[in-house]
């Protein structure tokens, strides 16, 4: 490697020009540069957008097929199904709702943005970058908050765009069936704008896990445990005799967060806004200890 080094040092030419000092805006810009200057991150985010839409449209197509066979069945019996009849055959929570199609591919975003958030912090520990970061921002909290804001905004925007595009692409399928589905259908706009909040929350939990564990593999494993394994385990809880265990699963992070995305009330079930608050509580449950530990621990 040939490197020509100036043997006569002249280090202080333009540096003293304008000194702004350390600002939160600067830290935000720094974290933004960090996120986008990694090729892997750019590819991952683009992939998330495509995959979320892809899985969403696929899910829409599955629901279309189910509805289509129901309509065909009705017609065989000589009944021309009305829009009302179709809606009644798809009760809320049956998995056949159409208003929540914008969030049909959400699981992809949860997994990838959650993992990305873990990496955003844990990779700094793995590479030693954290020492550069904490030298530039020795109070530490601003660096963490900047990472949190950038992750939340990016995951919100990408998820929201993906949701809107998913719905836009799915819409033509259902118009042939005589289903009354449009942007003004109850819950559609709500779904478009809340899906990203849920994914942003997952990303914040991921960031906190990356901070607490300082390890990518460990952080991602715990994240997958929370959002993909606990829901399965909680399914078994409802098999336990007695009423109590039937009501527990709705309070786990993924159920409470998922409930926040739904509309309407369900008997013996938390309301969407309650689900949202519970999920927010979970986010803070990870975020606050992560911030405290980051502030105290040697790097």
Partner 1 sequence: MIEAHDLTKTYGSKTAVGGVSFTVRAGQVTGFLGPNGAGKSTTMRMIMGLDRPTSGSVTVNGLPYAQHKAPLHEVGALLDAKAVHTSRSAYNHLLAMAATHGIAKSRVREVIEMTGLDAVARKKAGGFSLGMGQRLGIAAALLGDPQTLILDEPVNGLDPEGVLWVRNLVRYLASQGKTVFLSSHLMSEMAQTADHLVVIGRGRIIADAPVKDIIAGTRQTRTLVRTGESHQLSALLAGNGVTVDQSEPETLTVTGLEPRRIAKLALDNGVLIYELTPQVSSLEDAYFDLTKDEVEYHSHLTGGPAAAVPATAGK
Under the binding rule (CB under 8 A), the answer on residue 65 touching partner 1 is: no
CB of 208 to partner 1, least distance (A): 20
Nearest alpha-carbon partner for 205 in 111, 106, 102: 111
Under the binding rule (CB under 8 A), the answer on residue 46 touching partner 1 is: no
Helices (H) and strands (E) in the chain, counts: 12, 0
- Judged by CB under 8 A, which of 72, 79, 129, 285 binds partner 1? 129
Under the binding rule (CB under 8 A), the answer on residue 94 touching partner 1 is: no
Nearest alpha-carbon partner for 202 in 111, 90, 104: 111
Residue reference for tokens 């952080």: 219
DSSP letter for each residue of 55-81: HHHHHHHHHHHHHHHHHHHHHHTT---
Nearest alpha-carbon partner for 188 in 78, 293, 98, 294: 98
Under the binding rule (CB under 8 A), the answer on residue 27 touching partner 1 is: yes
Nearer to partner 1, 31 or 97 (CB): 31
Under the binding rule (CB under 8 A), the answer on residue 8 touching partner 1 is: yes
Side-chain half-sphere exposure of 251, counting CA atoms within 13 A: 8
- Judged by CB under 8 A, which of 43, 72, 79, 136 binds partner 1? 136
Nearer to partner 1, 55 or 294 (CB): 294
CB of 136 to partner 1, least distance (A): 5
Residues that bind partner 1 (CB under 8 A): 1-23, 26-27, 29-31, 33-34, 37-40, 123-124, 127-132, 134-139, 296, 298-299
């Amino acid at each position: 490697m040939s490197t020509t080094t100036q043997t006569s040092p002249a280090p202080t030419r333009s540096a003293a020009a304008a000194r702004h000092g350390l600002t939160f805006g600067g830290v935000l810009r720094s974290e933004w540069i960090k996120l986008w200057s990694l090729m892997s991150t750019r590819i991952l985010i683009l992939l998330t957008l495509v995959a979320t839409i892809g899985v969403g449209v696929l899910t829409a197509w599955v629901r279309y097929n189910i509805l289509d066979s129901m309509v065909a069945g009705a017609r065989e019996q000589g009944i021309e199904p009305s829009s009302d009849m179709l809606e009644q055959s798809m009760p809320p929570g049956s998995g056949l709702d159409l208003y929540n199609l914008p969030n049909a591919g959400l699981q992809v975003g949860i997994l990838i943005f959650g993992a990305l958030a873990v990496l955003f912090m844990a990779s700094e520990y793995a590479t030693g970058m954290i020492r550069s970061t904490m030298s530039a921002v020795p109070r530490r909290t601003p660096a963490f908050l900047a990472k949190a804001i950038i992750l939340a905004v990016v995951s919100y925007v990408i998820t929201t765009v993906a949701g809107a595009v998913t719905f836009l692409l799915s819409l033509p399928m259902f118009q042939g069936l005589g289903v009354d589905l449009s942007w003004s259908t109850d819950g559609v706009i709500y779904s478009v704008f809340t899906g990203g909040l849920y994914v942003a929350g997952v990303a914040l939990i991921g960031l906190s896990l990356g901070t607490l564990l300082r390890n990518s593999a460990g952080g991602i494993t715990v994240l997958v445990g929370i959002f993909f394994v606990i829901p399965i385990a909680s399914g078994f809880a409802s098999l336990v005799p007695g009423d109590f265990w039937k009501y527990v699963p709705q309070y786990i992070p993924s159920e409470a967060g998922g409930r926040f995305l739904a509309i309407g009330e369900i008997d013996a079930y938390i309301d969407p806004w309650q689900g949202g608050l519970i999920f927010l509580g979970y986010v803070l449950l990870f975020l606050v200890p992560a911030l405290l530990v980051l502030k105290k621990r040697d790097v």
